[in-house]
Amino acid sequence: RFLISFDTKNTPYIQTDILIIGSGVAGLRAAIEAARYAKALIITKDKLSESNTEQAQGGIAVVLSEGDSFERHIEDTLRVGSGLCNEKAVRILVEEGPLRIQELIQWGANFDKDDGRLSFTQEAGHNMRRIIHAKGDATGSELERILILKVEENSNIKILEYTFAIDLLHKDGSCFGAVVDIKNKGKKIIYAKKTILATGGIGQIYRETTNSIVATGCGMALAYLAGAQLMDMEFVQFHPTTLYIAGASRALISETVRGEGGMLKNKYGERFMFKYHQEGELAPRDVASRAILREMKETNDTHVYLDLAHLDSQFLKNRFPSIMETCSSFGIDIKKDLIPVRPTAHYMIGGIKIEINGSTNIRNLYACGETACSGLHGANRLASNSLLEGLVFGCRVGSSAGKSIKDGEKIETIPEIKSILDYGNSKELDIEDLKASLKS
């Protein structure tokens, strides 16, 4: 199935070896690795840096701290995933994670340090402090910065911003690229030997979300229309604490705030999390979100509160500068005021079904990051495993796609793929309406 009418015989085209759709951590890391073997082209429907990665606050869970071990991280991931995780994928994530982080540091990534050593924090579901972070609470921004730097200096990687993927070009169970709309240039076909979907999550289909404006689920929709299998679509993670100001967009209040001692209270000033879980504020996200919703219902309120007033003022300023600035813009001083919070759609656990190497049931089509699903997270993602997933599996998928291109292999230009759709009397495609349809 296709969404628009087109004919490969008379549509302008571009050729590349590997097409990467999406520019978050997974897409960028996949492009860097793929470029070791072939020419890569990244397309993104907004500016290159616009993604969920850019907005990620908390950090990256990785086994680098003293006393930690692969088995402890694996155990936490499996437990929080409610026993539904793909254990092979979990082990790959955890064991390859340190390599990817050391690589970032070699490239120039600046993670926060204490006395010259990496600084670690704790988040919900973890049995110890194993989350590294950057610029206090702007880890995603630092990650995006260094990956974009590596992409832009690589002569094997080209970038097309403001380019909207409308359809995957597919025939007889194989993918040959995509039909796209390039801003101010119109509709084109991009022929590719391999195509990697790294389009992120689905947050924007919800009224309230922590996600970037580009997180509309387009990659999953495109893959499904082309015949790809989806998996675990019933599992959508809600983040327990997003800033709730009526009429304002929802801003994430990182889980690390509770990891550093932040307390959840109801409108009567009562802590309540220990009623629902023995770990209190550090209960897994699904437990914390349900507990908050129950408390809201029982107290007949629209939100609960996050209390940081007992924490050192200078520590808060240094550790959570972005959160402090956001709250301050609404007249909230986190050093003394309660922060109104409630759960909001945050992360798509399900997605395009992939094998460990990122391949799908469609030949030459791969997926990685939030848009993909290997079963890694089970029914519930462990905090700060998502950026690590993008790094580890982005690298793996880029490598797999690149290595699968045979020496001398030519881009397969198909004699003809034609899609004819009846739009009545309309002669022009309404791209904006099409984008809205994909989003819905």
pTM of the model: 0.90
Average pLDDT over residues 9-14: 87
- What is the pLDDT at residue 53? 86
409 pLDDT above the threshold of 80? no
240-344, what's its fold? Flavocytochrome C3; Chain A, domain 1 (3.90.700)
- What is the pLDDT at residue 58? 82
427 pLDDT above the threshold of 60? no
Q: Would you tell me which CATH number, out of the four given (3.50.50.60, 1.20.1440.230, 3.40.50.1970, 3.40.190.10), belongs to the domain 6-235+349-418?
A: 3.50.50.60
pLDDT band at 314 (very low <50, low <70, confident <90, very high): very high
262 pLDDT above the threshold of 60? yes
pLDDT tens figures, 78-121: 999 999 999 999 999 999 999 999 999 999 999 999 999 999 99
Percent pLDDT > 70 in the chain is 93
269 pLDDT above the threshold of 70? yes
Percent pLDDT > 90 in the chain is 78
pLDDT tens figures, 34-58: 999 999 999 999 999 888 888 888 8
Q: Classify strands 372-373 and 351-353 as parallel, antiparallel or unpaired.
A: parallel
- What is the pLDDT at residue 324? 93
**Cβ(221)–Cβ(210) below 8 Å:** no
Q: Which helix (H) or strand (E) holds 120?
A: strand 120-121
The SS3 call for residue 261 is: coil
Provide the b/e sequence for 43-70 (b: ≥16 CB within 10 Å). Answer: bbbbebbbbbbbbbbbbbbbbbeeebee
**182-186, 295-299, 341-345, range with the lowest pLDDT:** 182-186
CB within 8 Å of 177: residues ≥ 6 apart: 16, 19, 168, 169, 189, 190, 191, 192, 195
275 pLDDT above the threshold of 70? yes
- What is the pLDDT at residue 332? 95
**Cβ(363)–Cβ(173) below 8 Å:** yes
91 counts as catalytic: no
What average pLDDT does the chain have? Answer: 92
The one catalytic residue in 29, 130, 250, 285 is 285
- What is the pLDDT at residue 415? 54
Average pLDDT over residues 378-402: 97
pLDDT tens figures, 336-370: 999 999 999 999 999 999 999 999 999 999 999 99
More confident residue, 55 or 208: 208
124 pLDDT above the threshold of 80? yes
DSSP 210: S
pLDDT tens figures, 236-251: 999 999 999 988 878 8
- What is the pLDDT at residue 55? 80
Residue ranges per domain, the chain? 6-235+349-418, 240-344
Q: Which two tokens stand for residue 432?
A: 């904006």
